[in-house]
Amino acid sequence: MNHPYGTPTSPMDKHDSSPDCQYTIYTSREKWCIVSMVSFAAFCSTFIANSYFPVVPILASDFHKSIELINLTITVYMVFQAIFLLFWGTLSDHIGRRPIYLACLLVVCLVSIGLALVPTSKYWLLLLLRCLQATGSASAIALGAGVARDVATRAERGSFIGLFSVGLLFGPAVGPIFGGVLTQVFGWRSIFWVIFLASALCFVFLLMFLPETLRTLVGNGSILPPKIYRPLIPLIGRGRQGIVSVRAPRQPLKNPFGIFTHSDVLILLLLSATLYAMFYPFVTTLSTLFQLAYPYLNEADIGLCYLAPSSAAIIGGYVHGKTLDRSYRLLKEKWIHEREALTGMLVRLEDITSDENFPIEIVRMKTIPIQLLVCVACCVGYGWCLQYKVNLAVPLVLQFIFGFAAIAVLNTINTLLVDLLPAQASSVIACNYLMRYSVGAASISVIDLMIRALGTGWTYTILGAVGLSVGPMICLLMWLGPRSRAKRFAHKVQE
């Protein structure tokens, strides 16, 4: 069946290189609305985790437990979130995005009410509810990149993953501040009531307006899915759904650990995890190190200091997304002009930008070495500035520059991972976060020991060296990437 929007089994679905009207039925404004909704869901998820940090000492007092036992509620939260990131990501690539979003948000709403009402004599219940809260909140992190892949071509994917990352990073920016203020004014239970209200609002919004985007269910959006997948108020894509009735056969549930068998993807995951060993301690030790270096700062002042790296990451995520799209467009145009000049004939767009032909690694990774050097320089300088207690403005500026460059690196890796395995977009991003969180947690466990043994300056110099160590991985990816893509393409052709 031929249609101007294409069918789910057409070549337009095999490559993200097709024109917008063929890849998706959604207009640019509608795509921004869809990704903005999942970005808000990501904000709710990260706000949950970060608004909890300021209440740890108060919970220890109210529950009559040690700080270590209350910190255990943070540890189990991270563990359960990491596990369910992979679970929800894999499941959403099979059954759809919308039902998992709604189910998990409903869990977060109910559990937040339980946390707001938990008796202070029931520490075990606090621990259990935090595990359930992590289970629900994990989906928003894993699914957002999958939604961006569903609606955006490779030529514009950087911008939409950047938009998604804005919500993902806004939670860490404002979570500790709001958590501290709410606790001081209304008590620690108010945090969970606010989380309930935000999650309920997000649930209602997605229930009303978010369409299903999984391409094996709805193709480019023109296939009308079963009623459970439809928004109550179908404003997005109105009049363009139900035109195509042929649905592609549902893909079997894939083992997410099979992702690690792709050599280029594995290199990217290892690169991302190694860099996170430098990135994560840079931010998480801010409060402790600033209290030591600048004892005149109170808790509110230190909370505001978090705005430097967080705001830089938010701005950087959006700006660098646009930069990725511009790089893609410029190289695509260059290749078209060169091919036409060589052959003297018009060149089809899909012949240039198809998976097996286009050097996507070069497009995405060409600015990574510069950004990485900026991160390393800021990391080393930051450590020595704190050791010698220079003016507060200097480490804050370094934090801002570091945050801007670091999010560019991390978003580039996310975008390239989705480019390489578009059919498993949520799963591969979940694997990425699983490895990041694991290595980040390991680095946090030793950072205090390193600072006490070596001092702040040498500790952050070592972290900078860890960042530099990924240089050979980048070179290996550039060499191995095209070969791995060609191997996957040949395997698909045989199937």
pLDDT score, position 346: 66
Flag whether 16 is in a domain. no
Residues 432, 435, 436, CA angle at the centre, nearest 5°? 80
Q: Is the pLDDT of residue 143 over 60?
A: yes
Same domain, yes or no: 193 and 266: no
Handedness of CA 304, 305, 311, 317 (dihedral sign): negative
Q: Give the CATH number for residue 94.
A: 1.20.1250.20
d(CA 59, CA 18): 54
pLDDT band at residue 487 using 50, 70 and 90 as cut-offs: confident
Query: Which tens digit of pLDDT belongs to each residue from 369-416?
Result: 999 999 999 999 999 999 999 999 999 999 999 989 988 888 888 888
pLDDT score, position 247: 59
The pLDDT of 2-24, averaged and rounded, is 45
Structure tokens at 148: 């961006």
Note whether 220 and 6 are within 8 A (CB).
yes
Tally of domains within the chain: 2
Same domain, yes or no: 363 and 447: yes
Top-ranked range on mean pLDDT: pick from 76-85, 94-103, 351-360, 470-479: 94-103
C-alpha dist (Å) from residue 14 to 10, 186, 211, 216: 7, 53, 22, 12
Same domain, yes or no: 161 and 272: no
Query: Which tens digit of pLDDT belongs to each residue from 332-382?
Result: 777 777 776 777 666 565 555 555 567 788 888 888 899 999 999 999 999
pLDDT score, position 400: 92
Query: Which tens digit of pLDDT belongs to each residue from 293-326?
Result: 888 887 667 777 878 887 888 888 888 888 888 8
Q: Is the pLDDT of residue 12 over 50?
A: no
Flag whether 7 is in a domain. no
Flag whether 2 is in a domain. no
Who has greater pLDDT, 140 or 99?
99
For residue 244, list its beta bridge partners.
Answer: 223
Same domain, yes or no: 262 and 218: no
pLDDT score, position 1: 38
pLDDT score, position 353: 56
Tell me the three state secondary structure of residue 232.
coil
Segments forming the whole domain that contains residue 286: 257-494
Query: Which tens digit of pLDDT belongs to each residue from 434-485?
Result: 888 778 777 777 887 888 889 999 999 999 998 888 888 888 888 888 888 8
Q: What count of other Cβ atoms lies within 10 Å of the Cβ of residue 468?
A: 15
Flag whether 248 is in a domain. no
Select from 198, 233, 268 the last residue of a domain.
233
The pLDDT of 114-124, averaged and rounded, is 92
Flag whether 8 is in a domain. no
Same domain, yes or no: 131 and 74: yes
Same domain, yes or no: 192 and 266: no
Same domain, yes or no: 89 and 140: yes
pLDDT score, position 243: 60
The pLDDT of 206-226, averaged and rounded, is 87
Same domain, yes or no: 356 and 214: no
Residue closest to 267 by CA, chosen among 478, 492, 486: 478
Flag whether 247 is in a domain. no
Same domain, yes or no: 180 and 270: no
Same domain, yes or no: 207 and 264: no
d(CA 313, CA 411): 10
Same domain, yes or no: 70 and 169: yes
Same domain, yes or no: 300 and 401: yes
The pLDDT of 161-184, averaged and rounded, is 81
The pLDDT of 113-126, averaged and rounded, is 92
Q: Residue 62: exposed, middle, or buried by beta-carbon count in 10 A (0-12, 13-18, 19+)? A: middle
Rg (CA), the chain: 23
C-alpha dist (Å) from residue 82 to 135, 205, 259: 9, 26, 16
